[in-house]
A and B are shown apart, each in its own frame.
Chain A
Amino acid sequence: MEFGRAELSAIKDIDFSLPADGRITSRTLPGYPSPNGCKFHVGMGKWGRKEWVGEFYPPMTRERDFLTEYSKRLDSIELNAAFYSIPSPEDVRRWKENVKASGNKNFLFFPKVSRSISHIKRLEDCDFLVKIYLEAMAELGEYRGPSFLQVSDNFNPKYFESLKNFLESWPTGEKLFVEVRHSEWFSDTASRIKLFDLLAKHQVGSVMTDASARRDCLHMELPTPELFVRFIGNGGTHTDSDFLRVDEWVDRISSWIDNGLETVNFFCHQHDEVGSFELGAYVTEQVNKKLGAGLPSIPVS
């Protein structure tokens, strides 16, 4: 992921500490643990990486088996393919069958809402597109997780009404998280309050993007008791720094669980995605060890 990439020489000077909780978080979390506990999903952004064969995937794994092998190792994935084109029901059914073949009954796809809706129509007049998008995603059946809507980088608070109207027309019961990136959503207090109040009103979650050069996107605002993190590590010589950042996330998540957080959806990226499975393995190890997540450990050769 290119978003929020910092110059390598600048990374050592970045303050990676997590900000204090946002205003709406204390209003959302009840202050005691959820009686149902907290469910965890850790994943990545793409399964079709040939360079993972022999490291993350077994040697000689064929491309057609990547998704099955992925879902043997992790129990969620951002379905970014849906962003580029609304897949046909046949494509979606095939993905579903590939996951079924893994035997992982806890697997969830987190589809990214089509860019036709988010970037081209910019959330206006897109009822029909939303309908066909949701119909396609319905084919995922039991493997279907919440969708996430990433609006364009230049979608600023002036477009608040578009977002409001879109959320009002988004079907109730279709779980959704929203990712905004324009800096004014975070720097302008009035816009920030309006945004997260709107999400809370519609029970729509917020995406927290943890990127080196865009610390402002770490808003720490939970409008629902569900966490969706897109964590972007720097990898390579900065792997230790990435792991320390993860450690701080685990501590914060622990505190939120004590206060009623119900789900954790943690997606691991790197600017160069080649090693993102190592990050996924570390996150899994830590949430298992410190939070009792109970996820299968990820073998990395």
Chain B
Amino acid sequence: MEPFEITVTLEGAVETLRVEPESQEKEKHEYKIYQDGEFLGTVWPDCLDHGVCWFSSDEIAEDTLVKIGDAIEKYES
């Protein structure tokens, strides 16, 4: 799958992040996130009571993770 860019507001500043979807066939769909070329972390969605919820094993602040997940969902919907 093609990488794409998302725009999110982090700590008051508008940032453009690069998203690289992992084209693996396993059911956990991972996305690698880069900010200014620097690896920020890997995120993946899962289904909970309130629908899609985003997770990461890297140190991404929860509100940042929510914004990244929301931006990916908007891009892909």
- Which residues of A line the B interface, CB within 8 A? 1-3, 45-48, 63-64, 66-67, 80-88, 91, 94-95, 98, 115-116, 119-121, 152, 154, 269, 271, 273
Q: Which of B51, B52, B75: most chain A Cβ within 10 A?
A: B51
User: Could you tell me if B46 and A115 are in contact, using CB atoms closer than 8 angstroms?
Assistant: no
CA distance A288 to B53 in the complex (A): 34
CA distance A1 to B73 in the complex (A): 8
User: Could you tell me if B47 and A3 are in contact, using CB atoms closer than 8 angstroms?
Assistant: no
Residues of B within 8 A of A86 (CB): 27
Q: How far is the CB of B64 from chain A (nearest CB, A)?
A: 15
**0/1 per residue, B14-54, Cβ < 8 Å to A?**
00000000011101110000000000000001111111110
Q: Which of A2, A3, A48, A66: most chain B Cβ within 10 A?
A: A2
Residues of A within 8 A of B23 (CB): 120
User: Could you tell me if A115 and B51 are in contact, using CB atoms closer than 8 angstroms?
Assistant: no
Q: How far is the CB of A122 from chain B (nearest CB, A)?
A: 10
Q: Closest residue of chain B to A47, judged by CB?
A: B51
Q: How far is the CB of A112 from chain B (nearest CB, A)?
A: 8
Q: Closest residue of chain A to B77, judged by CB?
A: A1
User: Could you tell me if A119 and B73 are in contact, using CB atoms closer than 8 angstroms?
Assistant: no
User: Could you tell me if B47 and A66 are in contact, using CB atoms closer than 8 angstroms?
Assistant: no
User: Could you tell me if B28 and A85 are in contact, using CB atoms closer than 8 angstroms?
Assistant: yes
Q: How far is the CB of A105 from chain B (nearest CB, A)?
A: 21
Residues of A within 8 A of B2 (CB): 154
CA distance A138 to B53 in the complex (A): 22
Q: Closest residue of chain B to A95, judged by CB?
A: B49
User: Could you tell me if A83 and B49 are in contact, using CB atoms closer than 8 angstroms?
Assistant: no
Q: Closest residue of chain B to A153, judged by CB?
A: B2
User: Could you tell me if A269 and B45 are in contact, using CB atoms closer than 8 angstroms?
Assistant: no
Residues of A within 8 A of B49 (CB): 63-64, 66-67, 94-95, 98
CA distance A64 to B50 in the complex (A): 6
Question: In the complex, which of the residues B29, B45, B73 contacts A46, with contact meaning CB atoms closer than 8 Å?
Answer: B73
A80-B73, A115-B76, A116-B25 known; A85+B45 contact, CB < 8 A: yes
Q: How far is the CB of A43 from chain B (nearest CB, A)?
A: 13
User: Could you tell me if B51 and A81 are in contact, using CB atoms closer than 8 angstroms?
Assistant: yes
CA distance A9 to B8 in the complex (A): 21
- Please count how many residues in chain B sit with their CB below 8 Å of the partner chain's CB atoms: 22
CA distance A45 to B76 in the complex (A): 12
Q: How far is the CB of B60 from chain A (nearest CB, A)?
A: 18
Residues of A within 8 A of B45 (CB): 81, 84-85
Question: In the complex, which of the residues B1, B25, B52, B74 contacts A81, with contact meaning CB atoms closer than 8 Å?
Answer: B52
Residues of A within 8 A of B27 (CB): 85-86, 116
Q: How far is the CB of A237 from chain B (nearest CB, A)?
A: 20
Q: How far is the CB of B52 from chain A (nearest CB, A)?
A: 5
Q: How far is the CB of A180 from chain B (nearest CB, A)?
A: 15
CA distance A257 to B74 in the complex (A): 32
CA distance A85 to B24 in the complex (A): 13
Question: In the complex, which of the residues A2, A84, A119, A154 contacts B47, with contact meaning CB atoms closer than 8 Å?
Answer: A84
Q: Closest residue of chain B to A120, judged by CB?
A: B23
User: Could you tell me if B51 and A46 are in contact, using CB atoms closer than 8 angstroms?
Assistant: yes
User: Could you tell me if B29 and A85 are in contact, using CB atoms closer than 8 angstroms?
Assistant: yes
CA distance A269 to B74 in the complex (A): 10
Residues of B within 8 A of A47 (CB): 50-51
